[in-house]
Chain A
Amino acid sequence: MIPELGHFALILALLVAIAQGTVPLWGAYRRDGALMALARPAARAQFVLVALAFGCLAWSFANNDFSVELVALHSNTQLPLHYRIAATWGSHEGSLVLWMLMLTGWAFAVTLRSRNLPAAMLARVLAVMGLVGVGFLLFLLFTSNPFLRLIPAAPEGRDLNPLLQDPGMVIHPPMLYMGYVGFSVAFAFSIAALLAGRLDATWARWSRPWTIAAWSFLTIGIALGSWWAYYELGWGGWWFWDPVENASFMPWIVGTALLHSLAVTEKRGTFKSWTVLLAIIAFSLSLLGTFLVRSGVLTSVHAFATDPARGVFILIFLAIVIGGSLILYAGRAGSVGGGAQFAPVSRESFLLANNILLVVACASVLLGTLYPLVIDALGAGKISVGPPYFDSVFYALTAPLAFLIGIGPMASWRRATLPDLWTRLRWALAVAIVAAVVIPLMRGRISPLIVVGLFLSCWIAASTVTLVIQRFRHAPQSGLGAKLGANTSAWYGMVVAHLGVAVFIAGVTLVKGYEVEQNVTLDRDQSVEVGGYDFTFRGVVPVNGPNYAGVAGVVEMRRGGVLLDTLRPEKRIYNAGGNPMTEAAIDAGFFGDRYVSLGEPVSDKGTEGAWALRVYVKPFIDWVWGGCFLMALGGFLAMADRRYRLAVKRKIDALVGATA
C-alpha cells in the first residue's frame, strides 16, 4: 500500500509540475496576475508530493519491504537502520528521487524567500524549475520507477554494496545533490530574465545568494566524497580524476566563475550576458554529469545499471534543455546591452581573467572526460586519459588563477593602478617568496612543484591578511568592534573563502610533495619504518560487525620509541555478498595522517603468518578538506549578507515609486 501511495504521489507531482511549468509562463506572457499566482502553490504542492514519494520509498527501505524490487536489490535485514535509510539513494532510481526532492526543495525555498520578487519574475523562475521537474519525473516514471513490485516478494534482500555502507553514504549524496541541483535556481533566474528581456543589477542581486548557496553545498559535497574515497577505498588517494568525480567538479568550476561574474554584474552592471551564459552552462554541466553518471556510459561505484533507454532519454532531455536555453540566449543576449566602462587594470579585469581561466580549465577537464567516450563511440578503440593529463593541464591553468586571488580583491572597481597595488602587496609577496623557499629547505626536500604550490598558498594567505589589516586601518571607525562591524558579511565570506583556497593549496602541495607510501610484508612482531614512524605488526584478531565478520590487524605506531597509537585496519567479509572489503585504519592529525590498510596473508601459515600491508604517511592531508570547508563557510557567510534581504525590497520600492 505504502509503495503504491508513493507511486501515486509521483504521478500527481508530474501533473502538478506540468501545470507549474506552463500556466505561470502563459500568465507572465499575458500579464495575467491570477495565472502567474498559480506558480507559488504549485511549487509547494510539488515539493510536498515528491517529499511524500521519497518518504514512502524510505519507509519501504526502513521496514524491509522486499516486495518492492528496489528494496530487495539494495537492502538487507541485517543492515543497520541508518544504512537502510541511506540505501534509499543507493540506487539509480532512488538517487533520482533524491534529485527530484532537491529540485522541488529548492523551488520551495524560492517560494518562501520571494516576497520581494516581482510576480512575473517569480512566475517565470518557478515555471522553469517546474519544466525541469517535468523532464525528471517523466524519466523516473517511464524508465526508472522506484516503486516496482516484486511478486512474489523476496524472502531476503541482496544487500547494499559494502563500499556504500559507511557514514559517508548518509551525508555525501544529499550534500552533493543539494549543490548540483541548486544551480537549477540560478539557471531558472537566467532563463526568466532572458524571457522577460530584462537583465540588470537587481536580477544579479536576486540570483546571487542562491548561486552561492548551491556552490557552498556542492563544495561540501565534493569534499565529503573525496574524504570518503580516501578512507574507504584503502588506496590512500583522495582525488582520482575519475570521470564521475569530474562530473561533479565541472559544475563546481563553472559555478565558481559564475559567483565572481555575478559580483561584477551586481556591483557594476557589466558582464550581464556572460553571467547568464555561465548560469546556463553550470546547470547544463550538472545535467551532463547526471547523464554521465546515471546512463551507464561510465562504470564506477556510482554507475548502477546499464540501460540504453535511460541514456537516450537523458541525452534527449539534455539536448532540449541546453539547446533550448542556448537558442533563447542567442535570440535575447544581444539586446541586453553593455555595462559600465572599466580600465585594463581594474577589479573587473581581474575578475574577467578569473572567468576566462576557470572556463578554460573546465573545458580541459571536459575534454579529458569525454574524449575516451567519443573515441569509444566512434569505434576507434578504447583509451583512457590518466590523472597525469589532468594534473599537468589543470595545475598550469589554475596557478595564474591562484596568483590573481591575491591581487583582485585589492584592486578598485573601474580603475586601479599597478604602482598602488605594488605598494600594498609587496610585503605579502616578500613573505610568500621567503616561505616558499624556507619551508621546503626545512623539510629537506625541494622541487619546483613544491615551491610553486607553497608560494601560491602563502601568497593568497599573506595578501588576504594584508587586505584585512589595511581595510581595518583605514576604517573611519575607532575600536576593533566598530571596525569589525564596518564590513559586510559578504566581504568576510570572501576573505574566509580565499583563505580556504590557501589552506587547500597548502594541503595539496604538502601531501603531494612529502607523502611516503610503502607496500610491505610484515611477520608477527616485525617492524617497518615509514616517514619517521615505526610500525610494528602484532598479528591479527577476529572482528564481528552487525552484518560482517573479518579480521583486524594490530599495528603499533611509535615515534622515537614512544607508543603513539595502535591502529586496527580491518578486512571484512559481508555476510550477504561474501566479498572482502578493506577498512583502512587512520591516525589523523592536524599535521598529517598515518594510514595503514591490510592486504592479504602472504605466507603459507595463513592468517597466523606474515601479511601484506600498505603503510602511508600523509602530511597535511586534512588541510585539503579543511580548505574546502573554509570555502563553503565563506559561501554561507556571504549568503547571510543583510543586503540580500533589505536591498531587494528597497529597490522594488524605488521602482514602484518611479513608475507610479
Chain B
Amino acid sequence: MKARHRRFVWIGAGVAVLGVAAALVLNAFQSNLVFFFTPTQVAAKEAPQGRPFRIGGMVESGSLKRIPNTVDVTFVVTDTLQRVPVVYSGLLPDLFKEGKGVVAQGSLRPDGTFQATEVLAKHDENYMPPEAAAAMEAARKHKSMSMPTLKEAK
C-alpha cells in the first residue's frame, strides 16, 4: 500500500468512528434530552405526558407534607401564576425549603400530579436554580402584561 492509500484508509477509519459516534449521540440525545417547563406551561398542557421533563419554580409555603413513617413527601411548585402538585419518594436535599427555588425531574401522572424521580440539590443557600429563576421571571413578565389577555399571551 502506498503512503497516500494508507492515509485514505486511516481517514476512512476516523470518519467511520465519527459516524458511529454520531449515531450513538443522536440516539442517546433522542431518549435523554430533558426539557424544562414552568408551572404555567404545565397548566397550559404544553408539557409532554409520560415523558420525563424538568419543572422549576418555588416551593409554595406551607405545602410540604410528609406521609408519616414513610419517605414519601408532597409539595407544590409554583411560579406565582400556576401551581403544580408534586409527589416524591426519597430524601430531600439539605437545602430544600419552603419558599425557596427548586427544580424537580420526573413526569406527569394522568391526574395532573408531577411524580418526581429526582429533586435537585442546591449547593449554596444563596443560589437559585437557573431554571427556577427563569420560571419566576417568565411568570413576572406574564403578569405585567395586561391580565385579561392572559390567554392569548400564553
User: Do A and B make up one complex?
Assistant: yes
A389 interface residue per 8 A CB criterion: yes
**Residues from chain A with Cβ under 8 Å of B25 in the complex:** 364, 367-368, 389, 393
Instruction: Determine how close the nearest CB of chain B comes to the CB of A361; give it in whole angstroms.
Output: 8
A301 interface residue per 8 A CB criterion: yes
- Number of A-B residue pairs at CB separation under 8 A: 113
B68's contact among A382, A393, A519, A603, by CB below 8 Å, is which? A603
B124 interface residue per 8 A CB criterion: yes
Bound: A367/B26 CA distance, A: 11
Nearest neighbor of A298 in chain B, beta-carbon distance: B130
Chain B binder among A121-129, A352-360, A429-437, A461-469? A352-360
Bound: A309/B138 CA distance, A: 24
A384's contact among B9, B36, B127, by CB below 8 Å, is which? B36
Whether A352 lies near B90 (C-beta < 8 A) is: no
A397's contact among B21, B70, B92, by CB below 8 Å, is which? B21
Interface string of B92-130 (1 = CB under 8 A from A): 101100000000000000000000000001011101011
Whether A386 lies near B32 (C-beta < 8 A) is: yes
**Residues from chain A with Cβ under 8 Å of B123 in the complex:** 161, 163, 300-301
> Which residues 25-71 of A sit at the B interface, judged by CB distance below 8 A?
none
Whether A599 touches B13, Cβ cut-off 8 Å, given contacts A344-B6, A364-B24, A383-B35, is no
A233's contact among B13, B18, B121, by CB below 8 Å, is which? B121
B24's contact among A300, A396, A579, by CB below 8 Å, is which? A396
Number of interface residues of A (CB under 8 A): 52
> Which residues 520-537 of A sit at the B interface, judged by CB distance below 8 A?
520-521, 523
A356's contact among B9, B17, B70, by CB below 8 Å, is which? B17
Nearest neighbor of A598 in chain B, beta-carbon distance: B91
Interface residue range, chain B? 35 or more
A388's contact among B10, B17, B28, B92, by CB below 8 Å, is which? B28
Whether A604 lies near B34 (C-beta < 8 A) is: no
A580 interface residue per 8 A CB criterion: yes
> Which residues 587-622 of A sit at the B interface, judged by CB distance below 8 A?
597, 599-600, 602-604, 610, 612, 614
> Which residues 4-62 of B sit at the A interface, judged by CB distance below 8 A?
6, 9-10, 13-14, 17-18, 20-21, 24-25, 27-29, 31-36, 54
**Residues from chain B with Cβ under 8 Å of A500 in the complex:** none
A301's contact among B66, B92, B124, B131, by CB below 8 Å, is which? B124
Q: Give the interface of B toward A (CB within 8 A).
A: 1, 3, 6, 9-10, 13-14, 17-18, 20-21, 24-25, 27-29, 31-36, 54, 66, 68-71, 89-92, 94-95, 121, 123-125, 127, 129-131, 134
4 further A-B pairs in the complex, CB-CB below 8 A; given A361-B21, A577-B125: A363-B21, A581-B94, A582-B94, A600-B92
